[in-house]
Amino acid sequence: MNEDAKETLDADSAPVEEPAKAPEPDYYGQLLRLKAEFENYRKRVDREKPEWVKLGRAEVAAKLLPLYDLLKHAHKEVIGGHADSPLAKGMEAIFKEYEKLFREEGVTQMDPLGKPFDPHTQEAFGFVDKPGVEEGDVADVLQAGFLLGDKVLRTAKVRLQQKKSNK
């Protein structure tokens, strides 16, 4: 071989620098992180789900309360005039169903009459003078209050016993 050919061959066989390779993506690591994120999401949803259900129940129960109040008022009027009528008996059946529904959902009616005023569960709408009621206690209930479990669903509208004035 001649020297020129040898030089050409040496130049061709010299290590050629390849362009720097980009690091290979870590697909397995990404998959593991994504799986962990999804597991955390699933656990969070499982933890929050009962709270969302409870909120939904509270909303529905709160929407039923005005209807319950109207029916109760109508029931008092019907009982006052026609206690043995089919309408009165039908309304009794409606109230039994309401009570059953409230019981199943954990809704209870407050009974503040004759008890000390509690601003967390009651709203005061004035004062009255009723015999046999202590000063500052609830003397009259204008609208019933309701609890859902241990949380106030609707405050009771009440009137309080006024202070006895010494004349």
DSSP class per residue in 143-164:
E--EEETTEEEEPEEEEEEPPP
Model pLDDT, residue 45: 92
Strand order across the beta sheet in which 122-128 lies: 122-128, 156-161, 138-143
Number of CB atoms found within 10 A of residue 113's CB: 13
Q: Which residues contact 77 (CB under 8 A, 6 or more apart)?
A: none
Residue boundaries of the structural domains of the chain: 30-105, 107-167
pLDDT digits (tens, 9 = 90+) for 126-137: 888 888 877 888
CATH of 107-167, one of 1.20.210.10, 2.30.22.10, 3.30.1180.20, 3.40.50.670: 2.30.22.10
Is the pLDDT assigned to residue 14 strictly greater than 70?
A: no
Average pLDDT, the chain: 82
> pLDDT grade, residue 167 (50/70/90)?
very low
Return the pLDDT at 17: 64
User: How far apart (Å, rounded) are the C-alpha atoms in residues 138 and 115?
Assistant: 6
Tell me the sheet residues that pair with 102.
none
Confidence at residue 58, expressed as pLDDT on a 0 to 100 scale: 84
What SS3 state is found at 112?
coil
Q: Per residue in 64-114, pLDDT tens?
A: 889 988 888 888 888 877 778 888 888 888 888 988 988 888 888 998 888
The token pair at 14 is: 């010299």
With 50 as the cut, is the pLDDT of residue 20 above it?
A: yes
Cα gap 159→157, rounded to integer Å: 7
| H or E stretch at 126 | strand 122-128
Whole-number pLDDT of residue 146: 92
Q: Are 101 and 93 in contact (CB under 8 A)?
A: no
